[in-house]
Amino acid sequence: MTSAIIDLLKQDQFFKKDIIRLLETHGEDRTLLFKKSAEVKEKYIGNKVWFRGLIEFSNICGKDCLYCGIRKGNKNLTRYNLSDDEILAAARFAYNNKYGSIALQSGELEGSFVAERIENLLNKIKELSHGELGITLSVGEQEPEVYKKWYDAGAHRYLLRVEATNEALYRKIHPDDSKHNFRRRLDCLKSLQDIGYQTGTGVMIGLPFQTMADLADDLLYMKEFNIDMCGMGPYIEHADTPLIEHSGTLLPLKERFDLTLKMIAILRIMMKDINIVAATALQAIDPIGREKAVKIGANILMPNITPGKYRDSYKLYDNKPCTDDSAEDCQSCLEARVSLADAVVVYGEWGDSKHYSERRNIQAGKD
Ligand code: 5AD
Ligand code: FES
């Protein structure tokens, strides 16, 4: 097997069958995959990690995804919505601690109130940081005009996970109604890219009904769409969600974790200069899960800087880590662990996707 994998890893673009093969590696072959992806990261990104201070500003969600702990139908949690002052205080914390960027994340809500509130917050965050804090938004599907309004107000990156690129699988993990429309999700991603955002997507790994072929297609989709950023993590069941009834069919957690690392490694080889997040869900399975991801290809970490008292209520899945830490604790423990992964945290820089600037340059050349 090993020599075949060595040959395969001489390439950087793969057919679906090759990706499936790489996803199925173990032992020495898997080590070779990780070695290669680490080399690619070192060459194109360096041993660097950038922070996005994560502010989970509200767990109120208008949708009902069958896997998600903050789905509208879950009555078993306290809903919260940070005040503007609390959000701005968290942004100030990020700025004072030289995090180059923040990420504003919440459940998915649409409407003019939300649109204007976020626009106003973006303006204020830009003001308090003298334009220095980079801002990633992750607040779901919105109308193109809303995306544009936020872009004009200073958000420059947007993360919208497609969750699963196989439409049949997507339908199995979402309610069958107009609020959970696969095509609209893809259209949203396209409008984000057209508006000019650094555009990120991702999937969950180890979902019920998901196959290796689905995962291979997910990576091919990301390549074809030409994403700038990726955030993908293992699916972790949540007791208060409908998908829990399929928990007996899932891969063991350890295998979902392992598969996530392989997905990151393969994507790093295929898309050398994009930003890849080491997802928090990795840490729910392995205490140094995110650092393992950094070692083999990820270059973005999202330390949680949501005020501590709300964290317990932003449980997308069971066993979510660090929900009782304060932001400062998170920073120092992360820094120590990043150094274990032989990487260094870069402060005071946005850490934009290199792929984005390359892509824009190429586009400008064509126009
Ligand atoms: N397990 C892992 N990830 C989850 N997410 C939501 N629910 C779960 C879960 N049970 C992820 C989705 C979403 C992101 C904010 O969290 O991919 O886009
Ligand atoms: Fe909130 Fe899916 S449950 S977006």
Ligand 2: which atom is nearest the Cα of residue 174? 2
Element (H, E) at 102: strand 101-106
Residue of the CA atom closest to atom 3 of ligand 2: 71
pLDDT of 155-169, one tens digit each?
Answer: 999 999 999 999 999
Determine if ligand 1 sits within 6 Å of the CB of residue 170: no
Q: Which residues in 119-147 are b (16+ Cβ under 10 Å) and which e?
A: bebbebbbeebeeebbbbbbbbbbeeebb
Mean pLDDT of all residues belonging to the chain: 93
pLDDT band at residue 363 under the 50/70/90 scheme: confident
Tell me the C-alpha distance between 205 and 217, whole Å. 12
Determine if ligand 1 sits within 6 Å of the CB of residue 317: yes
Using the structure block, give the residue that is written with the tokens 């949690």.
77
Instruction: Look up the CATH number of the domain holding residue 269.
Output: 3.20.20.70
Beta bridge partners of 163: 203
CA of 205 to the centre of ligand 2 (A): 17
**Mean pLDDT throughout 218-232?**
98
pLDDT of 246-285, one tens digit each?
Answer: 999 999 999 999 999 999 999 999 999 999 999 999 999 9
**Number of structural domains found in the chain:** 1
Q: Is 157:204 a contact under the CB 8 Å cutoff? A: no
- Residue at 48: amino acid letter: K
pLDDT of residue 362: 79
Element (H, E) at 56: strand 48-58
- Identify the domain containing residue 351 by its residue range: 2-366
Using alpha carbons only, what angle is made at residue 145 by residues 140 and 148, rounded to the nearest 5 degrees? 80
Among 56, 66, 71, 114, name the best residue to mutate to test ligand 2's pocket (greatest count of ligand atoms within 8 A of Cβ).
71
How many percent of the chain have pLDDT more than 90? 83
pLDDT of 11-47, one tens digit each?
Answer: 999 999 999 999 999 999 999 999 999 999 999 999 9
**Mean pLDDT throughout 309-333?**
69
Of the candidates 269, 234, 227, which has an alpha carbon nearest to the alpha carbon of residue 354? 227
Q: What is the pTM of this model?
A: 0.95
pLDDT of 329 above 60? no
**Mean pLDDT throughout 332-353?**
84
pLDDT of 95-116, one tens digit each?
Answer: 999 999 999 999 999 999 999 9
**Mean pLDDT throughout 288-302?**
95
Determine if ligand 2 sits within 6 Å of the CB of residue 63: yes
- What is the C-alpha end-to-end distance of the chain, expressed in Å? 46
Q: Is 296:34 a contact under the CB 8 Å cutoff? A: yes
**Mean pLDDT throughout 340-354?**
88
